Amino acid sequence: MLSKLILAASLASAGVLAQQTAVSSSVFSNIQKFTNYAGLAYADSCPTIPNGATVLQTFNFTTVDSKAVLLQESATNSIILSFRGSAFPVNLDQDFLFTLIPLNISGTSCSSCKVHAGFQNLYSTLYPTINPAVKAALASNPGSTLYVTGHSLGGALAALAGAQLAALGLNPTLYTFGEPRNGDPNWSTYVNNLIPSSSYFRVTHYNDGVPQIPPQILGFQHQGTEYWESLSNGNSASTTYQCPGVEPTNCNAAQSFGSNPINGAHISYTNQLTAAVIFNPACGYVENATSASS
């Protein structure tokens, strides 16, 4: 019943009928690449870092059960910041604190913006440690491009980080996977003005329910352009669609996620298990992976 109410509320709210356009092979290749970077943040151990990248620093915030990884990809002169999604019970408490509260993140400027209380409260404990390391990495690698990524809760944290880093003039490009809604329409407009649509890839998968929550009826609205992997498995460029508009209604939002938004489509992206604490495919493992909660 909950899933049907959330789906109905989402579809009934303001949105647009997306003109689906299959992505190019280069766009899909980048989605694959950042699926791995989003996934590795879950891993307890990552013996093979994807794309020949180097881990600059791992941030373990044990008091709030959160984690982020800062990497350097020398071949492309890139700095990548990846946030872990939900892996422990306390993360679910953070996920489901649906209250909208005023934006209060250092460097941002939108007095009318409201954001998800659980996500902002968590991010506010992370960025005083993470941001100096990001700035130092960029300063040590002149001309480098900054990317921010994350899956699920990690995608929501990436959205907050992306807005803050953009407001500070660092011009991040975002790749999020299974990102839940994390603010109101004013927040959506603010982020879309800060980060060009060409620099925000909000990837969804099949009938993943997490991008459909919190529901629009509670005042939430997505930001960024949706890129929808339309098949449950075996996706390619030809089955991954760019869905223009703030809330396209015939891509992920048109799919019923069943009885639980945290379903099979949520824990796997771009044809591999993403939310894996051990034996994570992003780290080179081929064994059956053990997934996290979301």
Tell me the CATH number at 255: 3.40.50.1820
pLDDT digits (tens, 9 = 90+) for 65-106: 999 999 999 999 999 999 999 887 778 778 878 899 999 999
What letters, b where the CB count within 10 A reaches 16 and e where it falls short, cover 161-194?
bbbbbbbeebebbbbbbbbbbbbbbbbbbbbbeb
Annotated catalytic residue within 266, 291, 293, 294: 266
pLDDT digits (tens, 9 = 90+) for 181-223: 999 999 999 999 999 999 999 999 999 999 999 999 999 999 9
The yes-or-no answer on residue 208 being catalytic is yes
CA atoms within 13 A on the CB side of 96: 7
Closest of 232, 275, 201 to residue 28, by C-alpha: 201
pLDDT band at 288 (very low <50, low <70, confident <90, very high): low
The whole domain housing 129 covers: 2-291
The overall average pLDDT reported for the chain is 91
CB-CB contact of 35 with 270 (8 Å): yes
The yes-or-no answer on residue 95 being catalytic is no
pLDDT digits (tens, 9 = 90+) for 4-53: 434 444 443 444 555 789 999 999 999 999 999 999 999 999 999 999 99
Which residues have a Cβ under 8 Å from the Cβ of 266 and sit 6 or more positions away?
Answer: 152, 178, 205, 208, 209, 210, 275, 294
pLDDT digits (tens, 9 = 90+) for 47-56: 999 999 999 9
Number of domains the chain is built from: 1
Instruction: Give pLDDT, residue 287.
Output: 54
Alpha-carbon distance 178 to 209, whole Å? 8
pLDDT digits (tens, 9 = 90+) for 237-257: 999 999 989 999 999 999 999
Instruction: Give pLDDT, residue 197.
Output: 95
Annotated catalytic residue within 151, 208, 222, 268: 208
Annotated catalytic residue within 66, 82, 152, 291: 152
